[in-house]
Structure 1
Amino acid sequence: MSGQTKRISVGFVAVVATTIIFWVPFYFVIINSFKNQQDAALMSMSWPKTFEIFSNYKAVLTAADNMLLRAFYNSTLLTVLSIVILVFVSAMAGFVLQRREGGRGSSLLNFIVLAGLMIPPAIVPTIWVLNSIGLFKTLIGITLVEVALHFPFSAILYKAFVATLPKEIDESAFIDGCGGIRLFFHIIFPLLKPVTSTVVVLTSINVFNDFVNPLYFFPGASNATVQLTLYNFTSRFTSSWNLLFADIVLISIPPLILFIFFNKKIVAGMTAGAVKG
């Protein structure tokens, strides 16, 4: 078997495996969200006898006083705020960590950042801290939690990408009288667009799909996020699998669209720093 034939065979097997693992379950969920209650309870992949698309999705969107619509608003707002803060904080941290690598205290700072990836978050102490400063059950509190949890990975990505930028840029800017803040925001930050795209897409999907953190740090019916609606609807629609599947489809659409359109930017941003850094 030639090398080209092997590559084609491996690619074919990969496509088939991807289809079976990802797209078949997704098809199962979608097709059952179109069925009535009795047909969906059979858990089959057969075509619907009667389509109940409008009634199913309307019932889900209006259930529990429009909980899903509020959840989409909460999740979107949480995601946007987290991304904005995370991008600026982690970009500045990555820039400083890379440019001062080998300097005084750099080893300790790098260890602290890496420790954030290895040490799991502590639920009870975090709740105590948020409650002590009056941020428990608030949007600001859960935003800070999301930023803190995603900061180490994002800072490492930025640090690797900053390594691809020559230090002569910094030196030229300082010679021209450019300060540190101006150097970062006017010169360095615009050059970080590839890795920024990666951080934005990956973190958006993670924050939007987060279940555990909103459950612990942002409880309350009015504070529900999209993943928490799935948890709430599991008991509400125990016998109505068609409505539960419809809820899964609705909350899966935004991350899926984001990933489909920006998956190339994710790969480009991660490999650029990995290869050159």
Structure 2
Amino acid sequence: MKKRKRLLLLGDIIGMVSAIVIFVFPFLFMFINSLKDRREANLLSMALPKEFLWENYKKVFEANNYIVLTAFKNSFLLTVLSVLGLIIVCSMAGYVLQRRKDRTMSIVNFVIMTGLMIPPAILPTIWVMQGLHVYRTLFGMVMVEIALQIPFDVMLYRGFIGTIPVELEEAGYIDGCKRASLFGKIIFPLLKPVTATVIILNAVGIFNDFTNPLYFLPGSKNATVQLTLYNFMGQYSNSYNLLFADVILITVPMLIVFIIFNKRIVDGMVAGSVKG
């Protein structure tokens, strides 16, 4: 038993050191280089700067007529609207798919789940958005983000709703609740754990999305925080200090959210998959 405990402790230490090397070291490397001048940062070393230049972060904010501030506003709106849409659509879809057991719902469920395996097609999506006159608009980008995340979120909600006793709904029917009020007053309040998981996972994913805004939301006025990296790399191709400062600025908000709500992410996914 002592030998087994020692091996487990050794495994924990190795895992912790590996995590530090994989996750903490790159972040520390970027932070140190973001405080250097241009010449020092271009050496890409872990040496401490001769002088800590905190004004690099100010330069990032002021670059291109405060494009970073505009990008934060766009990313915030995109994230909030997309997450709200996903909660509304996926919670109701998951409820219907879980409670209705017929052939039609089986086909609908199959179609939704294929979205987990089939990647999005860029050009057809752009053609559809242009036909609907939502290309290069925040509304169109919100619709794209919602469509991409629906399969996974419906799966989470459906699994969790399967753990809710049907007797609660039957009692609601006896008390005179209609279908809409039954879902809103009885079922949805019970979905808080999985809803927290959906909020956090999608908020982090959408806020950090680079590819989709690049294709579907072009233009400097529509820039999101991840696209500022693309712009800085083009404008400051040799100024790694400003590039790393921008990376730190857009990484910290979601990193804090993830650290605070990490336990809720795990609990919500386990509740929605194992119990369901």
Task: Please tell me the TM-score bracket, short chain as reference.
Answer: over 0.9
Question: Match of 1:151?
Answer: 150
Structure 1 unaligned regions, length at least 5: none
- Taking only aligned residues, the RMSD between alpha carbons, in angstroms, comes to 0.9
Separation of aligned partners in 2, 1:257 and 1:185 = 31
* 1:2 positional shift: 2.9
Separation of aligned partners in 1, 2:109 and 2:202 = 21
Normalised TM-score (structure 1): 0.97
Separation of aligned partners in 2, 1:143 and 1:69 = 20
Separation of aligned partners in 2, 1:115 and 1:131 = 25
Separation of aligned partners in 2, 1:2 and 1:194 = 39
* 1:7 positional shift: 2.0
Separation of aligned partners in 2, 1:269 and 1:239 = 43
Task: Report the residue type matching 1:122 in the other structure.
Answer: A
Superposed, which structure 2 residues align to 1:1-277 within 5 Å? 2-53=3-54, 55-100=55-100, 102-277=101-276
- Could you give the per-residue CA deviations for residues 22-49 of structure 1, whole angstroms, max 9, x where no partner exists? 1001100001001111111111101111
- Could you give the per-residue CA deviations for residues 146-204 of structure 1, whole angstroms, max 9, x where no partner exists? 00000110000000100110111111111111111101111110100000000000000
Identity %: 52
Separation of aligned partners in 1, 2:123 and 2:246 = 31
Task: Report the residue type matching 2:65 in the other structure.
Answer: D
Structure 1 segments of 4 or more deviating over 4 A? none
Separation of aligned partners in 2, 1:115 and 1:274 = 18
Separation of aligned partners in 2, 1:61 and 1:128 = 35
* 1:106 positional shift: 2.2
Alignment length (residue pairs) = 275
Separation of aligned partners in 2, 1:95 and 1:2 = 50
* 1:4 positional shift: 2.2
* 1:3 positional shift: 2.8
Separation of aligned partners in 1, 2:52 and 2:29 = 15
Task: Report the residue type matching 1:97 in the other structure.
Answer: L
Separation of aligned partners in 2, 1:98 and 1:3 = 44
